[in-house]
């Protein structure tokens, strides 16, 4: 797991936040799903879930991240 931390915000349930992002593009064939970090996190992030059950933080401003999101939305 790279840069995914679980944070608690008051009485709310724990939330995953990204404090660092993967430095290289991960192969699309490894990615199974994704979700966005909470707006309560200090910075926005996309967490990709891999087929092996890992979670990887990615920078939402990267082109490849947006391409993966679009592909996952169109082909769930």
CB 44 within 8 A of CB 37: yes
**DSSP-based three-state secondary structure for 30:** helix
| pTM of the entire predicted model | 0.79
Residue-wise burial string across 30-66, b where 16 or more C-beta atoms lie within 10 A, e elsewhere: ebeebeebeeebeeebbbbbeeeeebbbbbbeeeebe
In tens, the pLDDT along 5-30 reads 444 444 444 578 899 999 999 999 99
Domains of the chain: 28-74 (2.40.50.40)
Q: What is the pLDDT of residue 9?
A: 45
- CA 62-66-72 angle, to 5 degrees, is 145
């Amino acid at each position: 797991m790279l840069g995914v931390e679980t944070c608690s915000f008051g009485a709310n349930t724990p939330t995953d936040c990204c404090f660092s992002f993967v430095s290289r593009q991960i192969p699309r064939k490894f990615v199974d799903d994704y979700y966005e970090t909470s707006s309560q996190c200090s910075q926005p992030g996309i967490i990709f879930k891999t087929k092996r059950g890992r979670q990887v933080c990615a920078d939402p401003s990267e082109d490849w991240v947006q391409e993966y999101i679009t592909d996952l939305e169109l082909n769930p």
